[in-house]
Structure 1
Amino acid sequence: MGEAVGDAAVVGRASRDAVAAVWRIESARIVGALARYTGDFALAEDLAQEALAEALVTWPRDGVPRNPAAWLLTVGRRRAIDGFRRRAARDDRYALLAHEIWEDARSGQSGEILWDPDQIDDDILALMFISCHPALSREARIALTLRVVAGLASDEIARACLVPTATVQARITRAKKALAEASATFEVPPAGERAQRLGSVLNVIYVIFTEGSSATSGASLIRLDMASEALRLARMLARLMPGSAEAHGLLALLELTAARFPARTRPDGRPVLLDQQDRRRWDQGAIRRGRSALAHAQTLGRGLGPYGVQAAIAQCHAVASSIDETDWQRIVELYETLARLAPSPIVELNRAVAVSMARGPAAALPMVEALATDAGLARSHLLPSVRGELLARLGRDGEARAELSRAIELCGNEQERGGLEDKLAALG
């Protein structure tokens, strides 16, 4: 009896693991296909979640089906028909859906993939665009993208965003209502709108990765789960849009940045600065992928965009054998280009750091002090951190200690704050 119960528990866990794995890999295709069939994005996402819930009950009992993704899609489509039937909406769409499922059952192909392979890419691309619709706030875009494109559950998104699960659920609910009110259609935008909307998709992926690679709060400097999801989304987008230079530029940036992850933290989680990193620990496979994506981006269009330029900066670091062998003057020039393409205080701050490495801290300090009046940077630990570093290099230890103390007060990440405390302690 005990052995039977134990075996059942093992089977149940294996089935649940299978549900989770299939959902993570195939959820975007399933939701996209259901949205195309029903013409209703919010309904499609709900139907997919219902199919997932049914799989969690059925698969442990009956076993994992031969084609799990097709099973989930079939259940979702049947739930759609049940809904249409309950509302007595016997329109052409209902008739078409019923006919398709009847044909599948009659031909015995219910275990096969039920979507048109030629439509898969368009479905996922449409999901990305609708998840990043201009009618949504940035927080809603991030939550919806992680939910419907990356396939994360609400509690996973909550952990990734460091907010309560209820907050994530509320954001997703509000996002669906906003899309309905905006009459957002499930389709890849026409060519005239695509460039503008693509920028929103790229920005959401970039924001997700940035938070994962340098967490603004919490106990970990790097949140690999969040960074990995963003990298997966960037790879997906680059595959879906092979002619987009910026999609490949973003992918290059993320690959080259992620390549340094293994060397960026000590065993205790404290940060390891660039000049102290063991470059032998950098992921050479990620560097090769990043350089390849950047090379492809450079063959498209009329020059690199902001993400491509940042990738070129990351490549300068990736190919240098040491901090001293880095082409800092080239990095300064790239930051000047980036400042023209996408001006921001953070770009100027990073340019100042590059200038300090190329020409010395005295040349960079006035650039940093000119940013002191920026309202955004006034709330960030980055400005006093950089200023403290420059002052320390100039031998102005008292001023450096004051700046580093200010940076410690403003820093929200425990590990990064610990690194700043180590710097302060080193000044005596």
Structure 2
Amino acid sequence: MDTYDILIVGGGMAGLGCARVLREKGATDFCLVTEHVGGRAPLTGHDALSSACYARSDYCHMQPFLSYGRRASIWKGRLITQEKKWRPSAIALRHPILFLSFVFHIWRFDRRYQRFMRRNEFMSQKESMEKDPELLKIYNQSASDFLHEHGLAPLGTVLISTLVRVTSFLSLEESSAFLMLWIWLILLRRARECTVDGEKITENLHFCITLDCVCSIKQKKDEWVVETTSGHTMAARRLVMATPITVTQKLLNISSPGRTDLNVFMAKVRGTAKKKYVDGRYNVFPMGCPDVSIIDGEDGTYELYSLRADFDLSHYFDDYCVLYTKSWEPAACLGKELHFSQKGNNLFIVGDCNFPCLEAAYVSGMQAAKALLERM
């Protein structure tokens, strides 16, 4: 059995952020165990492992490791119903005063969000959120309630709900106001598709990375014992869980009241889309339809996202060839409970368990590393 001072389970942005800070500060007695480096983030040169994600150009901590692609545009989306096709720009022009009011709320949210992110470098997301009661209220409020409270409901039906659905697969009732505003903030701040440079982000970390799948974690006296599917056993005094929250719950046998899983399925195809779907980069289907969206790759390929595994591609394409399929089970864990990252002095739970963001996940790992270093 190998013994370390610190074990990091999970090699996504949070786990790598934690490992990089530990290494930069001179720590060597730690190990990062992961089945796949990069987690759910797409790595450069490994497009088939994940779909595209988006990042802002002001991600100061993740910036050195990102390669940017095309810019996301809210104006190239369409909501397709049986009656007609709705373009977001048409709704914004129909309600210009309401749209400007919504942009003002996004601007106010951005100011609070920036302070929140700066605090996250030194405290958990839960502690940081609780220092701003207004931000905490937004986190606990549904997107639909927020829009009604501020008189913005006419924008929600098409303009706002379209973007929330295509990026998070949620309805306005399921989404929090925090997530809704953050999604719009990402795009209004000139977000681009991005991939993570695996070589850069793992630089000087190869000595501590073990590629394996963790199947069991048990606490025995003053140490954590981790077992993998290959039969490898490791022990450490301190443990950092940087896995998706559902994996963390299963391995540590902890519960999260009020949370439900959201599964998403995707097919990458090359072919000819039916005429109805060829003149928009993002084709979004209304709530109630199990298929969420079709995204035009603008290179003869398309991505279909659905909430069901048995989607019918022939409904959307005249001819097609499936390049690959992928599923996220779960893609998200719905709920409004803020996870507290530190449990005692020897267990940290980090990552995107509170909201999906590369930078926030990376910073949560950094914060855990700093807390660990203070106790060394």
TM-score range, shorter chain: under 0.3
Q: TM-score, normalised by structure 2?
A: 0.23
Answer 1 or 2: which has greater helix percent.
Answer: 1
Larger radius of gyration: 1
Instruction: Give the number of the structure with larger relative contact order, counting CA–CA contacts within 8 Å between residues 6 or more apart.
Output: 2
